[in-house]
Amino acid sequence: MSSAPVASHARVDGAPPSLANPFCFLAAFRRHRALVLSLARRRVEAHYRGAALGMFWAVLQPLVQLSIYTFVFSSVLGARWGPTETNPRAFALHLFSGLVLFQFYNRVANDAPDLMLLHATYLKQVIFPAEVLSMASVLAALFDLVVGLALWLVFYGIERGVPPPTALALPLVVIPIMLLALGTSWLLASLGVFLRDLAQVTSLATTALMFLSPVFYPLTRVPAAVRGAYDVNPFAHLLDGARQLLFDGTWPDWGPIAVVAVAAWIFAWAAYAWFARTQHTFADVL
């Protein structure tokens, strides 16, 4: 990937926003949006370039993953989503909805520790804004999320018909996940410059988080003795709320989701400020 075209897009007018401004990372995106979109497009294209099936992998990969998880959990383990859901295809739809949402965060988090290392050439250019790499990573993962949700919509239509109108409110759940992913990327990308084994730790942590979140099971299956631990897991509220919108046709309890959204915003803001204060050291270490 040539660095020259990217560098030319990095020239922007105006001073960078103050880190004390809670909207500073949005202002940074606005200043560098052309560069962010260009990098995101390149990441998506590079991910599938050279593959025999090309972009078809964006569809095939989640389908294969869904088939494996559905077979193991519903056919082998006999899992059912609820007392009224006895059809394995219903279990697959519930699982898939949670899986594509969590995998969006999972991809961004696992790419983050090596993000600066893989773009060291860019970071040695004084005019290159390193923070845009995390923004591009989130947008590239968003492409896979949109493809996954489109597949879910197709299978839902075949199995049940038209989704309930409440499904249109799904972006209200996706936005906090985007903020969590963005903050995680800035934090881990910065730390990954100095801690080269952080990628292995992140992979273990995200795997544990996936199984400790209601991805493969409904929140109602969680024993009361450990339910308190799930109250502090943002994905417990977000995934449960998403399924209420997508399947039940009811509004979730917006209170916990609003708390998660505010906390995610503060986390993204703090992570951006940390990244901005440490990025001047990256070129020396790399």
Q: How far apart are CA 127 and CA 129, in angstroms?
A: 6
Written as six digits, the tokens of 72 are 């193991």
Predicted confidence at residue 232, as pLDDT, reads 94
> Phi/psi of residue 82, each to 5°?
-160, 175
Q: Quick one: what percent of the chain has pLDDT higher than 90?
A: 59
For the CA atoms of 205, 210, 213, 215, the dihedral, rounded to the nearest 10 degrees, stands at 180
Q: Single out the residue of 189, 176, 151, 182 nearest to residue 256, CA to CA.
A: 176
Give the residue with greater pLDDT, 54 vs 13. Answer: 54
Across the range 259-276, mean pLDDT stands at 97
pLDDT, one tens digit per residue, over 85-131 is 667 778 888 989 999 999 999 999 999 999 999 888 888 776 789 99
Please give the pLDDT value at position 207: 96
Q: What is the pLDDT of residues 85-96, one digit of tens each?
A: 667 778 888 989
Provide the pLDDT for residue 15: 56
pLDDT band at 34 (very low <50, low <70, confident <90, very high): very high
Using DSSP, state whether 18 is helix, strand or coil.
Answer: coil
Instruction: Name 82's bridge partners.
Output: 85
Average pLDDT over residues 149-161: 90
User: Predicted confidence band at 51 (pLDDT cuts at 50, 70, 90)?
Assistant: low
Q: What's the pTM?
A: 0.89
Tokens representing 267?
């986390």
Residue 3 DSSP label: S
Report pLDDT for 16.
64
